[in-house]
Structure 1
Amino acid sequence: MSQHDGNGVDPSEIDTKGEVFGHGIESRPIFWIAIAFSTFQIVTAAYSPLSSLPVRSIHVGFLLLLVFALYAVIDRENPLKVAADWALGAASFALSLYHLVFEAELIQRSGDPSTADLAVGTIVVALVFEASRRLMGWELPALCLGFVAYAAFGQYLPAPLDHRGYGFDQIVNQYFLGTEGIYGIPCYVSATYIFLFILFGSFLEQAGMIRLFTDVALGTVGHTKGGPAKVAVVTSGLMGTINGSGIANVVTTGALTIPLMKRFGYRAEFAGAVEATASMGGQIMPPVMGAVAFIMAETLNISYAEVCKAAAIPALLYYASALWMVHLEAGVAGLHGMSKDQCPSALGALKRQWFLMVPLGALVYLLLTGFTPMYSGTVGLALTAIVILGSSIAANMGGMAGRVVFWLVLGVASSAFFKLGIDVVVGIVAALAAVNFFVRGGRETLRMSVRGLVEGARSAVPVGVACTLVGTLIGTMTLTGVAGTFTQGLIALSGDSLFLALLLTMVASLILGMGIPTIPTYIITASLVAPILYKMGVPLIVSHMFVFYFGILADLTPPVALAAFAAASIARADPSATGWWSVRVAMAGFVVPFMAVYDPSLMLEGGTLLDTAYMVVKALVAIGLWGAGTIGFLFTRLAWWERAVAFAAAALLVAAIPWTDQVGFVLSAAFVAWHWFQSRKAVAA
């Protein structure tokens, strides 16, 4: 199943089988490295004891140390490889302290690097490439290496691709010594917001949030037509609110939902496709979106809440389209839901574990009221620890006394965030941990919390390494100005046609995203294409969300569909077939970003609430018809010409020409009424 050669490891295999990270966590040295990594990130987030560049550098040092140490554990049968891996890991971490130890000197000689600066910078950049190659295979490192080669030798290319030429010292200075290269915005976001939110999701998962979400989904849609598959969509959507990683979402929820779908008659490929499609939507589902959302906020210099606001309606439409496609497929296959007595009570599940929603609610409140993601993530993480430790003590005490203690702890902790400061909060967490050490059952809760720290560090590695490596690409574009050349070429190719520019952007995002993760796909495409769309009148955040959306869909698109491959490994299905089924399930969602570009009110950018409501209705109708045409089913099976009519009606609603809306709605109503009447006649006959 692996798509990579040599030592490269397929990310889907990493996350689904534990072939890299699972072995690493079983090793005691890896365990303590992960604990130290998480502790460092929490301390720097809470107290900011170091300036920004050393924090980024040490963050990268921990990432590289974990990657090489994990491979040392895998290669334990070969002493020479083990020694080499540990040496590379130790060198990576030692050199990551360079910016901290020589911070003052580096500032004084800024722009004039010394021989030591150049040597250390070259080694660190090479180590980043090697760690990325091992973790992700050759695709992304080869692409970034091409940009490095362009920075070094681009002056020999013909016009207009050439540049004026740059010395070795300028290139190393760009990549290593400032914040335009490997320590740029993606690395900064990884070292601050992303790690905290990954830890937040990891703690909630350890506390049982997956079970809560699954029970709620089973209780609400499990008994409906196609219920097991709808459970997968709803569960993955709920998981998306706390986990911004599509692959991780596939692994955590897919282990439960894919076997459930197969048990109720869904083919393995379809079960994997539904889970992959639903899980990838987690990256655009507020409040905890994927790493790209944080990078977007920093790049556009807007609040993270603004990004969440723009993403909210498209995310809901994405999941609505997935539910609709599952419903139609269930109609084609004649699959029914589970019996009600097999489904747990959604209300009962919320009553049992309502306290797990407290940190998520606090996070949403803080983000929407204007607090920074750093502060919001710190509060959410600390509240999660307090809720987990406090509920453990309350459960062991039992009765009214336990409930009183829990509410008292929660009240004091909540007031502490707003009035008493972080020191008091840390004291509360430490006190609760100490009490859990002595009460019955409390030590298991402490072990669960430690597992949360380790799992958080583990999950941060692929994201962090990708963010670091893609800095070389950004550094090349800012150094050489190649983005401007590309922009001029694409404008000429599109002929000033917005639709053609959007189509080319979609194709570029899908092709790039097939071989590299969502983060670099977004960064590359947004850097090159978003300025073009902006010149054509598309608001910046809408153009960036357009690129982001199709970067996510690329993970579902064969021939290289990482999310589909991860789901296929759980479903024991053919990866390629699962990928094509994923495209089919997600097909209705392809229309959403186009509609948002033509009317930004769909992303709450301009217009009134009435405009937004109209766009939502229009999008839902278009999704409904597009899905019916794709699956070939509505009330009954559709003939080929009926599918063509459904596609035509949907296309009219997507188009931005004023008269097409009226024609599209009339055609839609006529088609649905006629098909319903025909289906009733067929049933009567």
Structure 2
Amino acid sequence: MGDHSVAPDHGQEEFSEHGVQRRLGGTSLHVLTGVALAFSTYQLIVAAFHPLSSLITRSLHVGFLLALTFILFPAFRHGARLSRVSPGDWLLAAGCFVLSTYHWVYEADLIQRSGDPSFADLAVGTALVVFVFEASRRILGLALPIVCGLFLLYGLFGQYLPSAIAHRGYGFDQLINQLALGTEGIFGIPTLVSATYIFLFILFGAFLEHAGMIRLFNSIALGFVGHSQGGPAKVAVVSSGLMGTISGSGVANVLTTGQFTIPLMKRFGYSGVFAGAVEATSSMGGQIMPPVMGAVAFIMAENLNLPYAEIVKAAAIPAILYYLTAFWMVHLEAGKKGLTGLPKDECPNPWRAMRDDWHLVLPLAVLVWMLFNGFTPMFAGMTGLALTAVLILGAAVAARVSASAFRYVFWLALGLAAAVLVRQMEQWGIVPLLLLIGALVGLSFVLKGGRRTLHTMKMGLVDGARQALPVGVACAVVGVIIGVLTLTGAASTFAGFILSVGEASVFLSLLLTMLVCLVLGMGIPTIPNYIITSSIAAPALFKLGVPLIVSHMFVFYFGIMADLTPPVALAAFAAASISKESPMKTGLKAVQIAIAGFVVPFMAIYDNALMLQGDPTWLAVAYIVGKAVVAIVLWGAAAIGHLRAPLNAAERLFAAAAAFMLVAAIPLTDEIGFAMSAAFALWHGLRTRRAAPA
């Protein structure tokens, strides 16, 4: 968001996980900026000092989300004036925020009459539920509100359904009490996670972007792989993977790195469809790429009551294999079409880029260190964010120091001060680091050009608040599903069905769960997809012997793959808006590129060492990873139809069969798969060697 607009470019308006945004100016822009700054400031105060109870923290978070949504998103795409906010939307925005303070004002009364709400309680609760549905419709489209609405109808009228799926019946007051007056519905665990961890990490990513992290990632990717075979596409994979370490949002990754990588791929011979599909596939992997994974990872940690570091550990190898898949596919496509890389002299020196911008990596390194040393994600995120602010302000101050020797002394002193403060965080808390930021802000006001840096930080706060809207609203509205499932116990019905299928075959249960994830993903984002399927399917998989974290990762993984699967492939649609190609064709090609990635979760189910579960030995981990790599190589060759040379139909079928044998966990299938892999390599090697002279 810049000085004159709060909406992204036209492509993002049409194809993103959120609706068309208004382009505001004048007083409306100032009001919007003020509300966004207030939202970010509120979240930082909550993270640093925890001044409010949990329910109030959640309700005010939802109030800010609704207020910004009604200001920024019109009720209808067509016929809306994007340069102004209608009076009705101003009233809705103000009204929603006022309603969200009800839990703050009447907190003690709500606790005393819990389960017996007054008329005012029911009126406020009903209005909040309605407004959350309307906000999700504006920002996420119709699919998610319809799914949540069906669950709401089930809660209201489920007693009239056939006995196999019916519940005993609940009054309207019971339902509203469950959904809007306590911490089981729209103020449930997803909203708690959104109001704490998720917002901080979104803000962290926004600050790093404004600090120049995208430039650093692109320089590293171009320098290391830009000159290789199919270099531009490999740059897209590497830079999107690096961007995924700080972003956690697939569509946001497409709309940042894709503006650079998609035109670059097209310029060097890749089709627009393939370029868009590569970017979509690579960007979606950001949600499973540690250390800053997608919002689902934080919700999963809260649901499973596990340290976030455990989620990171389980996701690490599958994430690397996902990007290895994308990298391998673009390599094969480049070989098939004879595409070369960029000239060596046009690629930047990656070592020089890292030398110039090394300080940008420090907050990420500190974040990883804190996550793996017992600090909570909220505290680690706050520290990483504060360090990023220190670096941005420090760079502005250092730039005004004329003598290079003094500049190095300043950086050394600032680095030592920050290191000491981070080291003593457990004893001193966040306050000394905030005081350091305050001192640097004061210096920026005095120094020439410092105000530009402060403006950059202000826009980072505003952008962070805006980027949190789709995630936060999705977390709130999907609380309706959790509330109804908790109230009625309906999750056990579907879980029982999966268990009955699993008695015949665990594989069929996994296949059914995968299909549910993909079908749900055709209309709703990853977060609600994960919450629905993990509430219903993950407990059933656990009863079938699948470790709980592995079953949740299985659901999470396929929720991500759903965003690549047509007809509603949000990441592919965002990429297609940049490549100017058909969204459907881009989505289908993205599925082909990610096809090998579909087998990784199944391999993890049958061998938990792939997710580092069950205290595996290094030999066991090396074996399963090696097997997965061989399977990915074979799947990729079969899908693209090329290895050293084009593959004929028989070779493609044989390669696919060998890969399937390596995935299947049946006695002797590994041995058969490795034997078939060796036979395929020998067969293809001899054939291409004989064909080489011709």
| TM-score, normalising length: structure 1 | 0.96
Alpha carbon RMSD of aligned pairs, Å? Answer: 1.9
Q: What CA deviation, in whole Å up to 9, does each residue of 1:421-440 have, x standing for no partner?
A: 32221111011011112223
1:531 paired residue among 528, 539, 560: 539
Is the CA contact (8 Å cut-off) linking 2:216 and 2:353 kept in structure 1? Answer: yes
1:483 paired residue among 461, 480, 491: 491
Is the CA contact (8 Å cut-off) linking 1:217 and 1:231 kept in structure 2? Answer: yes
Match of 2:46 in 1: 44
Match of 1:548 in 2: 556
The aligned amino acid for 2:620 is D
Determine the C-alpha separation between the residues in 2 that align with 1:531 and 1:363.
Answer: 32
Deviation at 1:490, TM superposition (A): 2.6
Is the CA contact (8 Å cut-off) linking 1:200 and 1:242 kept in structure 2? Answer: yes
Deviation at 1:138, TM superposition (A): 1.1
Determine the C-alpha separation between the residues in 1 that align with 2:23 and 2:180.
Answer: 31
2:151 paired residue among 132, 141, 147: 147
Match of 2:659 in 1: 650
Q: What CA deviation, in whole Å up to 9, does each residue of 1:548-604 have, x standing for no partner?
A: 001001010111100000000011111010000100110111111010000000000
Match of 1:5 in 2: none
Match of 1:500 in 2: 508
Determine the C-alpha separation between the residues in 2 that align with 1:389 and 1:125.
Answer: 42
Determine the C-alpha separation between the residues in 1 that align with 2:346 and 2:574.
Answer: 28
Determine the C-alpha separation between the residues in 2 that align with 1:407 and 1:103.
Answer: 49
Is the CA contact (8 Å cut-off) linking 2:277 and 2:590 kept in structure 1? Answer: yes
Determine the C-alpha separation between the residues in 2 that align with 1:10 and 1:335.
Answer: 28
Match of 2:622 in 1: 613
Q: What SS does the corresponding residue of 1:431 show, helix, strand or coil?
A: helix
Match of 1:601 in 2: 609
Determine the C-alpha separation between the residues in 1 that align with 2:83 and 2:348.
Answer: 52
Is the CA contact (8 Å cut-off) linking 1:386 and 1:410 kept in structure 2? Answer: no
Identity %: 59
Q: What CA deviation, in whole Å up to 9, does each residue of 1:463-514 have, x standing for no partner?
A: 0000000000000000001100111123334543110011111111011011
Determine the C-alpha separation between the residues in 1 that align with 2:205 and 2:30.
Answer: 24
Deviation at 1:123, TM superposition (A): 0.5
**Match runs of 1:400-415 below 5 Å:** 400-415=405-420
Deviation at 1:15, TM superposition (A): 4.8
Determine the C-alpha separation between the residues in 2 that align with 1:362 and 1:560.
Answer: 37
- How many equivalent residue pairs? 677
Match of 1:298 in 2: 302
The aligned amino acid for 1:553 is M
Match of 1:638 in 2: 647
Q: What SS does the corresponding residue of 1:556 show, helix, strand or coil?
A: coil
Change (3 A) 1:291 1:440: same
Match of 1:422 in 2: 430
Determine the C-alpha separation between the residues in 1 that align with 2:429 and 2:599.
Answer: 47
1:260 paired residue among 256, 259, 264: 264
Is the CA contact (8 Å cut-off) linking 1:12 and 1:562 kept in structure 2? Answer: no
The aligned amino acid for 1:417 is V
Is the CA contact (8 Å cut-off) linking 1:186 and 1:468 kept in structure 2? Answer: yes
Is the CA contact (8 Å cut-off) linking 1:233 and 1:322 kept in structure 2? Answer: yes
Tell me whether 1:322 sits opposite 2:326 in the alignment: yes
Match of 1:370 in 2: 374
1:57 paired residue among 50, 56, 59: 59
Is the CA contact (8 Å cut-off) linking 2:125 and 2:180 kept in structure 1? Answer: yes
Change (3 A) 1:416 1:669: same
The aligned amino acid for 1:20 is Q
Is the CA contact (8 Å cut-off) linking 1:11 and 1:562 kept in structure 2? Answer: no
Q: What SS does the corresponding residue of 2:229 show, helix, strand or coil?
A: coil
The aligned amino acid for 1:43 is I
The aligned amino acid for 2:59 is S
Determine the C-alpha separation between the residues in 1 that align with 2:315 and 2:670.
Answer: 24
Q: What SS does the corresponding residue of 2:563 show, helix, strand or coil?
A: helix
Q: What CA deviation, in whole Å up to 9, does each residue of 1:385-440 have, x standing for no partner?
A: 00111122112214011121122122212222343432221111011011112223
Deviation at 1:339, TM superposition (A): 1.2
Change (3 A) 1:12 1:625: farther
Is the CA contact (8 Å cut-off) linking 1:140 and 1:515 kept in structure 2? Answer: yes
Determine the C-alpha separation between the residues in 1 that align with 2:543 and 2:692.
Answer: 54
Determine the C-alpha separation between the residues in 2 that align with 1:422 and 1:252.
Answer: 31
Q: What CA deviation, in whole Å up to 9, does each residue of 1:146-196 have, x standing for no partner?
A: 111100110011111111000111101100111110000100000000000
Is the CA contact (8 Å cut-off) linking 1:24 and 1:69 kept in structure 2? Answer: no
Determine the C-alpha separation between the residues in 1 that align with 2:102 and 2:655.
Answer: 62
**Match runs of 1:154-553 below 5 Å:** 154-398=158-402, 399-419=404-424, 420-553=428-561
Deviation at 1:23, TM superposition (A): 4.2
Determine the C-alpha separation between the residues in 1 that align with 2:391 and 2:375.
Answer: 21
Is the CA contact (8 Å cut-off) linking 1:128 and 1:468 kept in structure 2? Answer: yes
Determine the C-alpha separation between the residues in 2 that align with 1:673 and 1:409.
Answer: 59
Per mean C-alpha deviation after superposition, the further-off stretch among 438-447 and 534-543 is 438-447
Q: What SS does the corresponding residue of 2:384 show, helix, strand or coil?
A: helix
1:591 paired residue among 590, 599, 603: 599
The aligned amino acid for 1:408 is A
The aligned amino acid for 1:29 is V
Determine the C-alpha separation between the residues in 2 that align with 1:376 and 1:404.
Answer: 28
Is the CA contact (8 Å cut-off) linking 1:14 and 1:20 kept in structure 2? Answer: no
Determine the C-alpha separation between the residues in 2 that align with 1:291 and 1:637.
Answer: 41
Determine the C-alpha separation between the residues in 2 that align with 1:18 and 1:213.
Answer: 29
Determine the C-alpha separation between the residues in 2 that align with 1:155 and 1:657.
Answer: 44
Change (3 A) 1:118 1:10: farther
The aligned amino acid for 1:673 is L
Deviation at 1:16, TM superposition (A): 9.3
The aligned amino acid for 2:68 is L
Deviation at 1:239, TM superposition (A): 0.4
Deviation at 1:677, TM superposition (A): 2.0
Q: What SS does the corresponding residue of 1:66 show, helix, strand or coil?
A: helix
Match of 1:69 in 2: 71
Q: What CA deviation, in whole Å up to 9, does each residue of 1:517-543 have, x standing for no partner?
A: 000100111111111111111100000
Is the CA contact (8 Å cut-off) linking 1:71 and 1:85 kept in structure 2? Answer: no
Structure 1 stretches lacking a partner, 5+ long: 1-8
The aligned amino acid for 1:572 is K
Is the CA contact (8 Å cut-off) linking 1:10 and 1:135 kept in structure 2? Answer: no
Tell me whether 1:627 sits opposite 2:636 in the alignment: yes
Match of 2:3 in 1: none
Match of 2:36 in 1: 34
Change (3 A) 1:23 1:587: farther
Deviation at 1:134, TM superposition (A): 1.1
Per mean C-alpha deviation after superposition, the further-off stretch among 92-101 and 71-80 is 71-80
Is the CA contact (8 Å cut-off) linking 2:219 and 2:348 kept in structure 1? Answer: yes
Determine the C-alpha separation between the residues in 2 that align with 1:373 and 1:22.
Answer: 34
Is the CA contact (8 Å cut-off) linking 1:21 and 1:458 kept in structure 2? Answer: no
Determine the C-alpha separation between the residues in 2 that align with 1:537 and 1:71.
Answer: 45
Q: What SS does the corresponding residue of 1:111 show, helix, strand or coil?
A: coil
Determine the C-alpha separation between the residues in 1 that align with 2:494 and 2:210.
Answer: 46
Determine the C-alpha separation between the residues in 1 that align with 2:503 and 2:154.
Answer: 28
Is the CA contact (8 Å cut-off) linking 2:18 and 2:141 kept in structure 1? Answer: no
Deviation at 1:115, TM superposition (A): 1.1
Determine the C-alpha separation between the residues in 2 that align with 1:499 and 1:203.
Answer: 44
Is the CA contact (8 Å cut-off) linking 1:68 and 1:131 kept in structure 2? Answer: yes
Determine the C-alpha separation between the residues in 2 that align with 1:360 and 1:114.
Answer: 48
Tell me whether 1:96 sits opposite 2:100 in the alignment: yes
Match of 2:6 in 1: none
Is the CA contact (8 Å cut-off) linking 2:15 and 2:574 kept in structure 1? Answer: no
Determine the C-alpha separation between the residues in 2 that align with 1:80 and 1:235.
Answer: 37
